Amino acid sequence: MFFSFSRSRALPALALTAVLVSGCAAEGTTSAAPATPPPSTVAPTAPALAITDPWVKTTGEGMTAAFGTLVNNTGTEVTVVSGASPLSPKIELHEVVESGGKMIMRPKKGGFVIPARGTHELAPGGDHIMLMDVTGKVEPGAEIPFTLTLADGGTLEFTAIGKEFAGGKEDYQGDKDKG
């Protein structure tokens, strides 16, 4: 008699437990859904320095030059102090000036300075990246990699495209005086 009485009390308790468990499980499923992950990438920011439409004057041998428009995306002046490319072991930053009624080009002291939020154009007849001794032909459409180094140690890498251009044959005045 005692046994059956006990059992009849135990059954409702078990049933109640089951309801609670399933209620918990249902709720648990909802809260266990993966939380929205934080954005894995931040919005891309513009590089400190960029160059638009970079190109290299086609050549068979000797000297040639690279051009484009340097764009400073920062609120501080940026200075390019040197350039490098596998196309030429020696590269100089040049300017074109008038000397004795002739246009000559020579290394630009202090490099190329791009004003804050401003641009600096490299173009035939003006400032340019001078490749002093190319190691191979530059054909139209050639893709020539360049690296410019900034005064703060930063770099700008880009690919300039070979383009035919007839002008820009200024005489070269090297840094003979080493001034």
Residues that bind Cu ion (CB under 5 A): 94, 105, 130
Give 78 or 127: the residue with its C-beta nearer to Cu ion.
127
Give 18 or 103: the residue with its C-beta nearer to Cu ion.
103
CA distance 54 to 122: 9
Give 73 or 173: the residue with its C-beta nearer to Cu ion.
173
Give 78 or 130: the residue with its C-beta nearer to Cu ion.
130
We find the least distance from the C-beta atom of residue 36 to Cu ion, in angstroms, to be 56
We find the least distance from the C-beta atom of residue 111 to Cu ion, in angstroms, to be 14
We find the least distance from the C-beta atom of residue 46 to Cu ion, in angstroms, to be 29
We find the least distance from the C-beta atom of residue 68 to Cu ion, in angstroms, to be 15
Give 129 or 156: the residue with its C-beta nearer to Cu ion.
129
We find the least distance from the C-beta atom of residue 172 to Cu ion, in angstroms, to be 6
